[in-house]
Amino acid sequence: MSTTAEIRLHTTRFPDRTLMYALTRIVDALQVTEESELSFRGVRVYTENNLKPALHIPEALDAEALYRTLSPWDSPTSSFSVRTAITRYTSDVDSHIEPALMPIWVRVRGGQWPGRSGEWWIDGDTHLIIDPAAAYTFPTSPNGEVCRCNAIAANIKNLIQLLAAVIERLEPVAAKLYTDSGETFPFNAHLAYYTQPEDVIRDARLIHELFTVGQQVLELPPLREAHGDLADFVFHLWRDRQQQQLLRERFSRATESVFVPARDEAIRKLTDAASSQTPIGSGYVIYDATAPFNSFLDDFYLQLLEISHPV
């Protein structure tokens, strides 16, 4: 099974949150960036936290038929899933790039549908899942150097344009880009977007809690105690064991003291980190614009924790 990429969006945590608002805006963003009318397949509706779909339509629907089909199910207790396709580029042996298609799933949860962790700030409520993540990940040499190619660079550019279009239309509180080879915790993110700079402190506080308390619903101990097979996924399988151990040790040291946010300094670090990036929406975006899937944001969050309490 290939590794997937996921854009995880946090729109609103209110329990009366319904689904069509997010779905229609994401579909519009997809059609604008693809410059075509898309078809949608594999429509599924889940209700009342039931894992068996209440509605399943495998046939292709255009956007208007999709909206007509799903509107009667627009409820805080429902969840939608639908699949379409977006353009990806591949390279031949002569480095010529050719367009192809790859699947993308849109998944939207109502305000009373809990996520996997039970925490909205971890789970989000609206997801775009793309297979495979390899379309955006540069290969590396044996010594770890990134080997760039035009096809992957073009795919990354298109993905950032899609993210910008979604954020412009949906106006989420925050968004992150993950791959499914690790827990969806901020230090495993490849990209982060915040509408309000104060929310970066929210992520620093979350990381502090994860390392000192753990996560009850996911049955995780304090992450400073995570070792072996558990650490592999918690700290992401794309890191080797030595890198995972170093990450655990560094964050464990940074979370030894009581969390006391240094608000002004944290906001300044976010502003500085975002100032070198092409703006997305009206918020703050942090990522390695040249090779986002080949890096993580752990150093950024570590710096936030190191200034958030007295050493």
pLDDT digits (tens, 9 = 90+) for 148-194: 999 999 999 999 999 999 999 999 999 999 999 999 999 999 999 99
Q: Name the percent of the chain in helix, strand, coil, to the closest 5.
A: 40, 20, 40
Residue 25 pLDDT: 97
| Residues written for the chain | 311
Angle at 211 between CA 220 and CA 269, to 5 degrees: 135
> How many whole angstroms separate alpha carbon 252 and alpha carbon 223?
8
Domain residues of the chain, as ranges? 5-172, 197-307
Please give the mean pLDDT across all residues of the chain: 92
Rounded average pLDDT over 207-222: 97
> How many whole angstroms separate alpha carbon 208 and alpha carbon 304?
11
Q: Which residue has the tokens 């990381």?
A: 207
Let me know if 197 is exposed, middle or buried by CB neighbors in 10 A (0-12, 13-18, 19+).
middle
Residue 210: other Cβ atoms inside 10 A: 24
Residue 261 pLDDT: 78
What are 84's two structure tokens?
């379409």
What are 223's two structure tokens?
């992450």
Q: How far is CA 233 from the centre of its chain?
A: 16
CA end-to-end distance (rounded Å), the chain: 44
Rounded average pLDDT over 249-277: 85
Residue 276 pLDDT: 72
Rounded average pLDDT over 279-300: 91
Run of H or E residues at 152: helix 150-170
* E-state strands within 92-230: 97-109, 126-130, 174-179, 191-194
> How many whole angstroms separate alpha carbon 91 and alpha carbon 209?
44
Rounded average pLDDT over 47-64: 93
Structure confidence at residue 93 as a pLDDT band (50, 70, 90): low
